[in-house]
Amino acid sequence: MTWAAGYSAAAGNNRTVDRVAICGWDIARQSIRLGAAKNRGMHAMTLAFGAVGSAPFLPDIQEHLAGLDRSPRHDDTQQLTIGDTVLDLVGVTLSFGGVVALADIDLSVRRGEILAIIGPNGAGKSSIINVISGVYRPDRGHIRLSGRSYSQIPTQKLARLGIARTFQNLALFKGLSVLDNVVAGRAHKTRSSFVEQIVGLGRAGKEQADARSRALDALEFLHLSHVGDRLAGTLPYGLQKRVELARALVAEPEILLLDEPMAGMTATEKNEMADFVRAARDRFGTTVVLIEHDIGVVMGLSDRVVVLDYGRKIADGTPDEVQRDQRVIDAYLGVAPENEDGEGI
């Protein structure tokens, strides 16, 4: 299923466009007066980098992940090596009225890596995800994907281009079963005609059976088989987040975009989700780009971390390099640039 929904607000602009590409149809709706104030404050966020998210993963889930022999039909797991660049943002600038959300951003994503994008509130993190998924068209710059250059990624082709995403706010069909929600992630693979699907003849039957089988595999991989027949809207919040991940993975993406996949979760749920993301990368070779506010989780999960502040990239490196970067510490603690030496404090 082609999913590209934007749920972010432009500060001071009081207007955003939520675009949802569902089953190949691109639906745009205007959301009025969703201005977001930039709330930086004392956004310390445990710069000790070892708080929530650092606890060991539950033993039963570890055993489940280690013993799985079924998956959403990707090739068998091989030793993963981070390789060539699969996605490039080149000189991307994005503004909403007079508010600059992204300023001349250069960003490369390498095959097989888990790349985290962090920064204080309003730094431009979700804007990058929305540019990559085609929700926003940059004012300047372009995106290189699969050897082609785009001024804007076509949302209706997102899944076929090898990109899947989850959302900061849940975007499930709450009135459908968990299994049907995950099956929807295979919609972009459908080749049968409308008539074939109505009558159930020809390719339609085979496609439906294949989609169901792969969805069951995805549910098993994410430890959701026991809730497959339940309505998605009746599940606890943490499990609904996991259903979104299953729907994204069943599309067999080359690049997986995760917009705050652990927001609102308990510490235990965050650790579970972090291990599932890592297991998906290791088993399927999926490249992961994630936004997450829990720094403990980010530092333990990511291969590389990019830090944004006021729409500009201020750091790019390994977790160890980033957590020692003075510019990153200042951005989170709110140290004013003109007083970086601490004079008068």
- Give me the CATH number covering residue 116: 3.40.50.300
Residue 7 lies in a domain: no
Averaged pLDDT, 64-84: 48
Residue 198 lies in a domain: yes
In angstroms, the CA 330 to CA 309 distance is 10
Q: How many residues does the chain have?
A: 345
- Residue of 33 and 258 predicted with greater confidence: 258
For residues 208, 209, 212 and 216, what is the CA-based torsion angle, rounded to 10 degrees? -170
Residues 192-251 have pLDDT tens digits of 777 777 777 778 778 788 888 899 999 999 999 999 999 999 999 999 999 999 999 999
In angstroms, the CA 256 to CA 111 distance is 11
Residue 245 lies in a domain: yes
Residue 8 lies in a domain: no
Residue 1 lies in a domain: no
* pLDDT for the residue 263: 87
Q: How far is CA 165 from the centre of its chain?
A: 5
Residue 2 lies in a domain: no
Averaged pLDDT, 58-79: 44
> What totals of helices (H) and strands (E) does the chain contain, helices first?
10, 12
Residue 336: phi and psi, rounded to 5, are -70, 140
- Residue of 16 and 117 predicted with greater confidence: 117
pLDDT at 69 over 70: no
Q: Which among 132, 140, 98 has a CA at the least distance from the CA of 115?
A: 132
Averaged pLDDT, 18-40: 32
In angstroms, the CA 281 to CA 69 distance is 16
* Percent of the chain's residues with pLDDT above 70: 72
* Strands laid side by side in the 312-317 sheet: 163-165, 255-259, 287-291, 114-118, 304-309, 312-317
pTM given for the model: 0.71
* pLDDT for the residue 273: 93
Q: How far is CA 271 from the centre of its chain?
A: 17
pLDDT at 106 over 70: yes
Residue 4 lies in a domain: no
Q: Which among 281, 74, 82, 254 has a CA at the least distance from the CA of 158?
A: 254
Averaged pLDDT, 93-110: 94
242: three-class secondary structure by DSSP: helix
17: three-class secondary structure by DSSP: strand
Residue 92 lies in a domain: yes
Q: What's the mean per-residue pLDDT of the chain?
A: 77
* pLDDT for the residue 116: 96
Residues 292-338 have pLDDT tens digits of 888 888 999 999 999 999 999 999 999 999 989 999 988 887 665 55
pLDDT band at 12 (very low <50, low <70, confident <90, very high): very low
Residues 262-283 have pLDDT tens digits of 988 989 999 999 999 999 999 9
pLDDT at 18 over 60: no
Domain that holds residue 200: 15-339
* pLDDT for the residue 144: 94
Domain count, the chain: 1
